[in-house]
Structure 1
Amino acid sequence: MKVLVTELMWNDGMEELKRNGYSVDYDMELGRKRKELLELAPNYDALIVRNETKVDPELLDAAKNAKVIGRLGVGLDNIDLEAAKERNMPVIPAIHANATSVAEYVMAAMLDAYRPLAEADADVRRGNWDRKFFTGYELNGKKLGLIGMGEIAHRVAKRANAFGMETIGYDPFVTPFDHILAETGVRPVETLDEMLAEADFVSVHVPLTKVTRHMINKEKFSLMKSHAYVINSARGGIIHEQDLAEAVQSGKIAGAYLDVLETEPVQRDSLLSQIESIHLSPHIAGLTDESQSRTAMLIAQEVIRVLNGGKSLCAVV
């Protein structure tokens, strides 16, 4: 059987497929080569994608011999789940495999906001010694607001607790006995507006849907503290980028850390990239060596399970 990998995948996952007798073809840029992908798809028993490959009805029909789609990550907005379900095509995301890495990214963003060591290093190398300018703030005692309280938010909350932060969360689907509340001490709030008004940092942990698209917009920024930061390691489109730029430029909020954008990669004329207190990274929150090894191995093993006639507990359709 043959497996086609269309985007970046750590080698240990591909080696796991090969050890189990599967032929693997790998092109980390194939997700961007639509015509070539559609021509190749009928030749494979499984496709493994990341977030750039558009898995729509056209591709699913082209992949007429495929029995499973593996997703190297957890976001599913690039995959038409209804179309996959109609074609009896299991879709397997790497559930929780990169949660720790994303949680550590959020902590790194908050630490950078309050203690910008890279900027201090650059300033010292220019011959300066400005201790007053680089006097920062403590995370201890500050309030972190979580939008969405799933597994990643749970791990963020645990780490924030270790820094002495107070954590509040908004998620209408979380019950009082869910882990994040029962075990981590996050205080739930009833409305998003309430959370935004209280938090010193706001971290986004929800999928991109019709409901969540642009849920953080001009109206919401007006509720936030002027010294607050927003952190988005979830999906571009949840934050209204033009409204964010205006909010930061006008001093309504202090800044932002964006790992995801509505259009990736960032456009050369993007206003966001021209604002110093909006910090951009290339969709790397979940990309650490450890998380990518876990992701690759999980997807490889679950794809093997399905190709061998079994069912994956990670499958979403």
Structure 2
Amino acid sequence: MKDREIFCLNNISRVGTGKFRRGYTLTDHIDNAAAVLVRSADMHELQLPSTLRAIGRAGAGVNNIPLESCAEQGIVVFNTPGANANAVKELVLAGLMAASRDFVGGNVWVRENAGDPDIKRTAEKAKKNFAGVEIKGKTLGVIGLGAIGVLVANAAAALGMEVYGYDPYLSVNSAWNLSHKVRHAALTDEIYEKCDYITLHVPAADGTKGMINRESIHRMKDGVRILNFARDILVNDEDMREALSRGKVKAYVTDFPNTAVANMPGAIVLPHLGASTEEAEDNCAVMAVEEIQDYLDNGNIRNSVNFPDVDAGICQTEGRLAILHRNIPNMLSRITSALGEANINIGNMQNRSRGAYAYTLTDIDSPLNEEGFRNLQRIEGILRVRKVK
């Protein structure tokens, strides 16, 4: 068993790090680390050692990791999609309630009047200022039906809401898990026009940045309530402020504080609590550790954000080579030619590409000598070659 050092850049749940098998050691220094576990720490200015093979992000967002730079160095970056989905779902449901029943404002009133000796009587008069509506029978639009969006849609339907879901890239797995009560929306306009509540569950991309803006809000119902537990840049803050001020939007709940929303009247702003539960942190850590171990021990890639997923199981031949390379023509023929020149027979080969990068996992029937290994490394476009076995 190889001795591999793992560096934790943030505090990582011991439930997760306890899953490392014999041969893995947690280290206090990154210098000789084979892998890094990280949550929110910024890695963009961090000097990464030549020994580093993988980065495991215990969470979904990877804005804190230099993905392209890592790819060029042959470092596979993993995240943990879905591991914190239940935690976010539960907070979204709390956001639905907060947008409907002003218990936040009510709590503030009680605190401000805590010194009133007759607060019980006064509260009976004041509570009309915090009256709300029930969510049962109201219409919810869920934009984005990934792991979190599906859970939110199903839970809302179970609570008696009429739910519309929109996702042009709905996966087979999500489709299977989606309640039959959730109606399909062909366009976001259908969500905007029909729904009393709208919740966002899409990634940050060129097509989603600022998707909630003056134009889209104009197409919504008067008094719509909007929830954003996905990404801060999905909502144009200035347009949201204007819509809240004139009552077009009744309530805005967001998990992404900044100076604009923190001072926005009518907004309920949380300090990025979506995945902040013990269970979610444990789940993310366990998933990241399992991904890293499977990659380092077997060469398999699951849930990478800069290389394609490839799973060849456990190697049953004399050796396995993990080859990270650019996605360019004739690469496979060059790899097979180099192995042929080394008199190596290929037992199994899997190749996948993702954008500018590709990954080839090759099982070989006899060990590759050092000269053959160096010849592989010299091929133009090869980023890293690793002997897995």
Partner of 1:146: 142
Post-superposition shift, 1:182? 5.7
Post-superposition shift, 1:142? 0.7
Does residue 1:72 correspond to 2:46, yes or no?
A: no
Identity percentage of aligned residues = 30
Partner of 2:7: 4
Post-superposition shift, 1:113? 1.6
Post-superposition shift, 1:82? 4.0
SS at match of 2:133: coil
Residue pairs, 1:48-197, within 5 angstroms: 48-55=37-44, 59=46, 62-124=48-110, 126=113, 127=119, 128-129=123-124, 130-174=126-170, 178-179=174-175, 183-197=179-193
Contact 1:181 1:188 in 2 (8 A): no
Partner of 1:259: 255
Post-superposition shift, 1:177? 8.9
Change (3 A) 1:174 1:306: closer
Structure 1 CA distance for aligned equivalents of residues 219 and 244 of structure 2:
13
Partner of 1:286: 275
Contact 1:169 1:186 in 2 (8 A): yes
Deviations 1:179-232 (A, max 9, x none): 268634322222222211221111111111122111211211222223112111
**TM-score of the two chains, using structure 1 as the length reference:** 0.83
Structure 2 CA distance for aligned equivalents of residues 20 and 227 of structure 1:
58
Partner of 1:212: 208
Structure 1 CA distance for aligned equivalents of residues 50 and 238 of structure 2:
41
**TM-score of the two chains, using structure 2 as the length reference:** 0.68
More strand by share: 2
Structure 2 CA distance for aligned equivalents of residues 181 and 121 of structure 1:
37
Deviations 1:17-49 (A, max 9, x none): 3x64433246xxxxxxxxxxxxx6443211122
Post-superposition shift, 1:295? 0.9
Worse overlay, 6-15 or 91-100: 6-15
Runs of 4 or more off by more than 4 Å in structure 1? 175-178
Count residues with an aligned counterpart: 293
Change (3 A) 1:74 1:175: closer
Partner of 1:308: 297
Structure 2 CA distance for aligned equivalents of residues 91 and 177 of structure 1:
23
Structure 2 CA distance for aligned equivalents of residues 165 and 276 of structure 1:
27
Deviations 1:85-138 (A, max 9, x none): 343322221121100111111110011121233433443462222343333211
Over aligned residues, Cα RMSD in angstroms?
A: 2.5
Deviations 1:144-163 (A, max 9, x none): 11111111110001110111
SS at match of 1:203: strand
Partner of 1:201: 197
Post-superposition shift, 1:52? 4.3
SS at match of 1:237: helix
Contact 1:149 1:180 in 2 (8 A): no
Partner of 1:23: 25
Output the amino acid matched with 1:53. Answer: D
SS at match of 2:82: coil
Q: In structure 2, which of residues 236, 240, 244 is the aligned counterpart of residue 244 of structure 1?
A: 240
Contact 2:154 2:182 in 1 (8 A): no
Structure 1 CA distance for aligned equivalents of residues 281 and 171 of structure 2:
31
Over alpha carbons, which structure has the higher Rg?
2
SS at match of 2:88: helix
Output the amino acid matched with 2:221. Answer: K
SS at match of 1:24: strand
Contact 2:101 2:130 in 1 (8 A): yes
Deviations 1:3-25 (A, max 9, x none): 222234223223333x6443324
Contact 2:27 2:33 in 1 (8 A): no
